[in-house]
Amino acid sequence: MKNILKIMIVPFFAAMLLPVAGDDHMEATSFYPVEFYHGCEFSRGKDVTDLEDPIADWNKFEDESGNDSYSAWVLTPIFHSNVNLNGETAIWMGTWNSWSNMGSELNNYFSNAIEEAEGFNKVWDCSNHSLTALYVVRSNPTPNNDSGVLSFQSCTINEGKNLTDLVEADAKWNAFSDSSGFSGGVYRLFPTAGIVEEDDDKDFWQMTAVSSLEEWGANAQKYVDNNGGIAQASIYGDVVSCEDQEIYQASNKRRASSN
């Protein structure tokens, strides 16, 4: 299954935390490009706050270039293993509203934004740049445009199961989520390029997005009150296996045009 998923680059929505019209049928739903800069180490004496100056310069470059299809967030860990939580760990997540816009804007950046790129390089050095294809499982009707809380789990589809089985399970989970009053969005990120070797056996990453820690906590309480663990095991247990949940604060740094 993993080899099939890694070549499924088919035509993201304008902003990860903005509402998106979802579809229960994967074959009728578009996939969108999402990039990550991760494995980032800050220069001596630098932390996540030092990214603000190069981000401002980069935003100016993007505005002057007329690039309006890209949204970006800096992710900092809330619940995570093997990291310090003093501002010295962060991930860059960026999205485009189409694959063609991704190509043209990346070409412009790598060709003409040498000074802006150097500004980032003075603050941190990122060892990995990966590209994923995003699919909407459940859209977020009440986004926070400036910040949010994202959780990620790595997942594999169980032997003998396929994407059709996963989509059928999604429909059941969405019905359970509606009845339980869950808020926020659910998305899948399928690996396409630049994936690190230790993630080579992953079929996708499951991502949930809510607007705040308060909303995340409220969902967690509803999950407990409605026996979410039992429902989840019943719906997905035979279809997919997920592990290693990590939770991040997402701070918006650029928002794509809604046009």
Query: Alpha-carbon dihedral of residues 81, 84, 87, 89, nearest 10 degrees?
Result: -50
Dihedral, CA of residue 208, residue 214, residue 219 and residue 224, to nearest 10: 130
Question: How many angstroms separate the CA atoms of 175 and 74, rounded?
Answer: 32
Which domains does the chain show, CATH number per domain? Answer: 2-254 (3.30.70.100)
The type of residue at 66 is: G
Q: 102-112: per-residue pLDDT in tens?
A: 999 999 999 99
Q: How confident is the model at residue 179 (pLDDT cuts 50, 70, 90)?
A: very high
- What are 64-116's pLDDT values in tens digits? 999 999 999 999 999 877 665 555 689 999 999 999 999 999 999 999 999 99
- CB of 16 closer than 8 Å to CB of 104: no
Check if the beta carbon of residue 166 is closer than 8 Å to that of residue 226.
no
SS3 for 188?
A: strand
φ/ψ of residue 21, rounded to 5? -80, 110
